[in-house]
Amino acid sequence: MCTATGRFQMNHPAYGPMEVVSYERVTHADTAPQGKQSSFAVYQGNTPVNYEVNRDATTLVSFGPAPMIGDQVWDVAGGTPVDKYGNLYLSSGEGVTVISPTDEGYSSNGTIPEANVITPYPTNPAGLTIDASGEPTILIKDVAPGGAPNGKTLEYIWNGSTFVLKK
């Protein structure tokens, strides 16, 4: 059974009011913390119009509008993880899922459950800031060859269709 972790009233540019609901489902009840699977659904009125799940990801600790544990940066002005472009951001405790308006409704564009929207850094822990103007930045802890953290944080900004490295 899935548990709703967040409900977000969105205004799609073509379809108008829609609701995005984030869910998690316990897959490993006998572990501490429990392993969970993330998903989200999009509704127009009471009608479901989209559902995304990564059936292979079953070990997450949480999935919702903010991190539940850990040291993930999550600095969201105004308290709602929606930027001025209409993107919704959800946390898996390590990665950032970006749900964006599309011609068909809303899509994670392959970012569920981890922050793999940024091709060169598909699995690195990521964080999020949304400033008071609604401008988003995804923060990724850079790693040296071999995977060891090098102490640098890379900042990615929205260019209108994807995130690009801030220069």
pLDDT band at 117 (very low <50, low <70, confident <90, very high): low
| Rounded alpha-carbon distances, angstroms, from residue 111 to 108, 116, 119, 145 | 5, 5, 10, 23
pLDDT tens digits for 60-116? Answer: 888 899 887 777 889 999 889 999 999 999 998 778 889 999 988 999 888 887 545
pLDDT tens digits for 5-28? Answer: 999 999 999 999 999 999 999 887
CA distance 160 to 50: 23
Report, in angstroms and rounded to the nearest whole number, the Rg of the chain calculated over CA atoms: 16
CA max distance for the chain:
49
Our count of domains for the chain comes to: 1
Q: Which residues pair with 87 in a beta bridge?
A: none
Give residue 130's domain range: 3-165
Going across the sheet that includes 35-44, the strands are 2-12, 16-28, 35-44, 47-53
